[in-house]
Each structure stands twice: as structure tokens, then as C-alpha cells.
Structure 1
Amino acid sequence: MTASAVRRTPRADCTVGPDGGITFDLDPHRSEDGERPELLLRLRGAKGRGRDAETVRLSLSPLRDGRLRAVLPGTTQSAEGRWDVYLREPGEDDGKAVAVEPGIRDLRLLVDRVPAGGRIAVRIPYPTLDGRLAVRCWLRAPHAEAGPVTFDGTGMTVEGTLYGTGLGTGARVEARGPGAGGRVLRVPVAGQEGAFAFTLPLDRLADGAVTAQQLWTLWLVPGAAEGEPARDVRISRILDDVWDRKKIFVYPGRSAGKGVRATPCYSTDNDLCVRLEPEPSP
């Protein structure tokens, strides 16, 4: 292979496995000293955690077609967040590692995924806005997966599936207003065998004055077992191949009365929310 056939900027194809692991296949690459480089995954925005805590190092092995392969096992302990992918040449400092470009991303095994239970690890390789490869990671135990969202008048009904725990007696959903001292609206939740459903009265969210946009977060609080405190579970949607559904899953807004408009939405972390804002002028 000629030097001109080797890419200057590393590029990787990614395949996601059923256990949350990822295989990275890099284009043919030649190091000056003949040693193989190393693939680095860095946690974006990590501060005060130490280099080892914010970096995952993966060794690269040669394939028959000249490419290099690295495997991130599904059992790897990696924090929730966005991990940028870099290639580090042998003998070089981590700071000189080069960002990797995304190639083909095979995410088929993420679609309609049904976890076995326990800790849920989801990792989705994706292209960043500036053309680099990154991995979005979620670690949830337990986890409340949001499903269909429907409307009836000023009521918003959400169906979903709870993994890793049961609803228990007295389970509820809490809509929590912005700020540490924000209002909380509690509604009962029903379900069985993992399925849950609740209806949120949007007009009750608008009881207070809404003069600017507010983002209310949704939490499922299972009934506490005897001798154990209840665990709040964020209601999110992560069990598919969509790494950022904020601009993809767009719901219509509804009048919540009192000049307030309520709109279900997802955050950039795929958490289900309700956005309140003043009704636009006619």
C-alpha cells in the first residue's frame, strides 16, 4: 500500500453489540516506528476526576485487510456522558492524540432493544456537529423507559416500561419545576409486570405565574419497600439508536389555561420533560 493510500485523518467504522459493547475498525494506518497506535475515549467536560478516570484506553489489533480493530467491552465501567474518540501514536503524549472521524455506524442491534434487567448500559457512537466521532453513554439502574405520549384535553398520558425494580405500593410520578425550590406536582402511576402509565394534568402545572420558559422534569418514584427508602427514577428514552432526540421527537404544544402553553419535549440527554411558556399573542 502506498503512502498516499493511507488516510492522514483516522476514520473508524463502528458496530454496536447486544451487550452495549462497540467494535471500532480503523482505516489502514502506518506508524513511523512500526508500533501500533492506541485508541482513546475521553469523557467530555470531566473536571477534577483525574486522567485515568476520564480516559478509556483500547489496544488496536491488525486485521487481514490492513485495518486496525479495537473493542470496547460491554462490561467496561464508563461514566454517563459524551466520550470523544482519539488516536494516539506510540510514544506520544495523550495531548497530541488526533480526533477520529466517523465512518459506517452499524446500530441495528440497538433498535427495539429489550434489556435483560439489572444495570442498563447504552452506548451509541455518533458524529458530532464538527465531524468527529463520539460515543454517548448512559448507565441506569433502575431505569424508566418512556414510550407513547398521548393527549386528552389538558391531560398528557405517558406509557412506559420500568426496569430494575417494581412499582410497589403507592408509586407516583413527580413533575418538578425549575430551581432548587421549584414546585412539585405529584400524580399516581399505575401498571403491572414492568409496564407503567400516568396522566399529567397540564393545567395544574400552570397554577403559578409563567412569565418565561420553564422546563419541568419527570421522575417516577416507586413505592418504598419495607425498611428501604424510595429511589427516584428519571423518565427517559434511551433504548434505541437515537443519541439526541431533542430536535427529532417534537410534540405539539397544548394550552394549559391561564395564558400558558405546555409542550412535552426531550432534553439533549434524552430525558422526558414538559416545557411551559406564555401563550403567543394572537
Structure 2
Amino acid sequence: MTVSTGRRTPRADCTAGPGGGITFDLDLGRREDEEAPELLLRLRGAKGKGGDGDTVRLQLSPLRDGRLRAVLPGTLEPAEGRWDVYLREPGAQDGEAVAVEPGIRDLRLLVDQVPPSGRIAVRIPYPTLDGRLAVRCWLRAPHAEAGPVTFDGHGMTVEGTLYGTGLGAGARVEARAPGADGRVLRVPVTGEEGAFAFTLPLDELADGAVTEPRLWTLWLIPGTAEDGPAGGVRISRILDDVWDRKKVFVYPGRGTGEGSRATPCYSTDNDLCVRLEPEPAP
């Protein structure tokens, strides 16, 4: 439950850093002798709401200009997902916290960032569709960052950068169809010094008639002892200031010759996919 505190609607200006840290600055019009509230970051969709793993608590401290500041340190590792931001007044219960609105969001340091080796933490503050402030978090180790996507006939070529491991002799990319019995299309991957590239033949995704849309996911198998999570490394694009590229990055589709059409796309989690669907009627 969310209740009104009788104060102005809290609004936070955010500055995001390349190491995953975020500062939140709020002007709440408070007296200096008032006890400071705290910010709550709640994991959206968490089963155990209010649990230690579902809520991050950030103490607000006064600045000289009268505003209050909270810092989400880059060393903190909240789970991947979307975290909604709330303000909890002193003495109030967590369920009485008030949703925070987005103010100025400074994301300049997220553009063209080069992450350090090891675990990659990316956090982007963004406005939700209903006007609230949220933070999109990713944690990847290793990570395959997608770059340019180009086309040649029925083939789709993807270039990218691999962080946290290298490519071995058995390196490959797998395009996986959904479902327990989904098909897998394997293609070789090339690269050196962190760069990788592969070409996916889009006309091989269709196996007979396609009657409904299917979303193929793309995974990089490094082929080394440090393959990463079981099943490979998800190919995504997260190292910039775009928190949801699904409707931002739009690619042309290609006919597969089987009465279907294959279109590269990004999911709402910024994972690179290929959508296979029936060819639209003329």
C-alpha cells in the first residue's frame, strides 16, 4: 500500500557512472533539524516482497544547498532486473513508502564505456511508462556485447566484443528456438583480442512452414575452460545509456524462402534475437 505523506511529490535527479554507481539528489523542502528519510529500491516482480534480496536501502544525507543525496555504490550487486525507487519517511513502514518521480538524468558517462575485466555491472535510471523512477540493472560475467548488425543476401553478420574470457578452438554461436524441443542452429565465430564476429544464415532458421512467430535467442559459446554460465553467454547490448532497445533499434527483415520472414531485434532486456514469423501477404 502507498499512502500520501502530505509533502510534495519526491523527485530525484540522477547521475549514473560507468562503474554501476548512481547518485540520487532530492529537494524535499525539509528543515535542517528534521530526520532524513531513506530511499528504497524494490525489485519488480520479486516473490518475497520486502526480503533482504528484494530491497536495497540507501540513506539520504544533507548537502550544503539543502538537498538530500543517496548513493548506490558500484560495488553493490543487486540482482538483474528492474528496481522501482521509493521514499520512506522516518517511522513509516516499508509499505507506506512513496514512489519517486524522475528528475534530470545525467547518463553521459554511460556512453561508449569500456568496462573493467571481470564482473560487469550496468545500472541505468529511467522513467517508467506511468511516470515513476526505476533503475535497470544488469550483472554479467562474462559478457558478449553486440555491435554492428549487417546483411548480405540471406545472412546476418554480427560483430561484437567479448569481456571476461577469450575464444577457444570450439568457439561458436548458437541460435536457439523456444520450447523444450526447440531447434538449435550452430555457426562458427571468429575473433581475437576480445573482438568476435559471426554470420547467421537466416534462411536456415525455417524448418518447413512457419505458422506463428518464434523468437530465436543468440548465445556465444566461447569454447574455453571459462565458458561462463551453463549454456553459454547471452549476446546483448547493455554498455550505453539505452535501457530498453526493443522499439529503438529496428532492423529490416529478410525472406527465408520458406514463406517466412526473419528479423533481427532486441528484447526488452536488450538481448539480441531473431524473430521468425510468417511472411505477410502482399
Q: Which amino acid aligns with 1:148?
A: P
Instruction: Map residues 88-167 of structure 1 onto 2, 5 A cutoff.
Output: 88-167=88-167
What is the identity percentage for the equivalent residue pairs of Structure 1 and Structure 2? 84
Q: Secondary structure at 2:265's aligned position in 1?
A: strand
Q: After superposition, what is the alpha-carbon deviation per residue over 1:127-174, rounded to whole angstroms, capped at 9, x for unaligned?
A: 000000000000000000000000000000000000000111110000
Measured after TM superposition, the shift of residue 182 of structure 1 is 0.4
Partner of 2:61: 61
Q: Which amino acid aligns with 2:78?
A: S
Partners in 2 of 1:181 and 1:188 — Cα distance?
A: 22
Partner of 1:16: 16
Kept in 1, the 8 Å contact 2:18–2:115? The answer is no
Measured after TM superposition, the shift of residue 35 of structure 1 is 1.0
Of residues 132-141 and 220-229 in structure 1, the stretch that sits farther from structure 2 once superposed is 220-229
Partner of 2:173: 173
Q: Secondary structure at 1:190's aligned position in 2?
A: coil
Q: Which amino acid aligns with 1:65?
A: D
Q: Secondary structure at 1:243's aligned position in 2?
A: coil
Q: Which amino acid aligns with 1:110?
A: L
Kept in 2, the 8 Å contact 1:7–1:27? The answer is no
- 4+ residue segments displaced more than 3 Å: 226-231
TM score, norm. by length of structure 1: 0.94
Q: Which amino acid aligns with 1:201?
A: P
Kept in 1, the 8 Å contact 2:87–2:100? The answer is yes
Partner of 1:43: 43
Measured after TM superposition, the shift of residue 177 of structure 1 is 0.3
Pairs aligned (count): 277
Kept in 2, the 8 Å contact 1:36–1:60? The answer is yes
* Structure 1 gap ranges (5+): 1-5
Partners in 1 of 2:64 and 2:237 — Cα distance?
A: 39
Partners in 2 of 1:141 and 1:228 — Cα distance?
A: 7
Kept in 2, the 8 Å contact 1:31–1:37? The answer is no
Of residues 263-272 and 45-54 in structure 1, the stretch that sits farther from structure 2 once superposed is 45-54
Partners in 1 of 2:60 and 2:222 — Cα distance?
A: 44
Kept in 2, the 8 Å contact 1:16–1:109? The answer is yes
Partner of 1:185: 185
Partner of 1:3: none
Partner of 2:270: 270
Kept in 2, the 8 Å contact 1:74–1:121? The answer is yes
Measured after TM superposition, the shift of residue 210 of structure 1 is 1.0
Measured after TM superposition, the shift of residue 180 of structure 1 is 1.6
Partners in 2 of 1:253 and 1:58 — Cα distance?
A: 45
Q: CA RMSD in A?
A: 2.0
Instruction: Map residues 248-263 of structure 1 onto 2, 5 A cutoff.
Output: 248-263=248-263
Measured after TM superposition, the shift of residue 110 of structure 1 is 0.3
Measured after TM superposition, the shift of residue 226 of structure 1 is 9.5
* Structure 2 gap ranges (5+): 1-5
Q: Which amino acid aligns with 1:132?
A: R
TM score, norm. by length of structure 2: 0.94
Measured after TM superposition, the shift of residue 7 of structure 1 is 6.0
Kept in 1, the 8 Å contact 2:263–2:275? The answer is yes
Q: Which amino acid aligns with 2:202?
A: L
Partners in 2 of 1:260 and 1:161 — Cα distance?
A: 31
Measured after TM superposition, the shift of residue 181 of structure 1 is 1.3
Partners in 1 of 2:88 and 2:205 — Cα distance?
A: 51
Measured after TM superposition, the shift of residue 199 of structure 1 is 0.3
Measured after TM superposition, the shift of residue 33 of structure 1 is 8.3
Kept in 1, the 8 Å contact 2:262–2:277? The answer is yes
Kept in 1, the 8 Å contact 2:162–2:195? The answer is yes
Kept in 1, the 8 Å contact 2:173–2:189? The answer is yes
Partners in 2 of 1:255 and 1:228 — Cα distance?
A: 34
Q: Secondary structure at 1:191's aligned position in 2?
A: coil
Q: Which amino acid aligns with 1:236?
A: S
Kept in 2, the 8 Å contact 1:236–1:271? The answer is yes
Structure 1 residues 27 and 191, CA gap change in structure 2 (3 angstroms): same
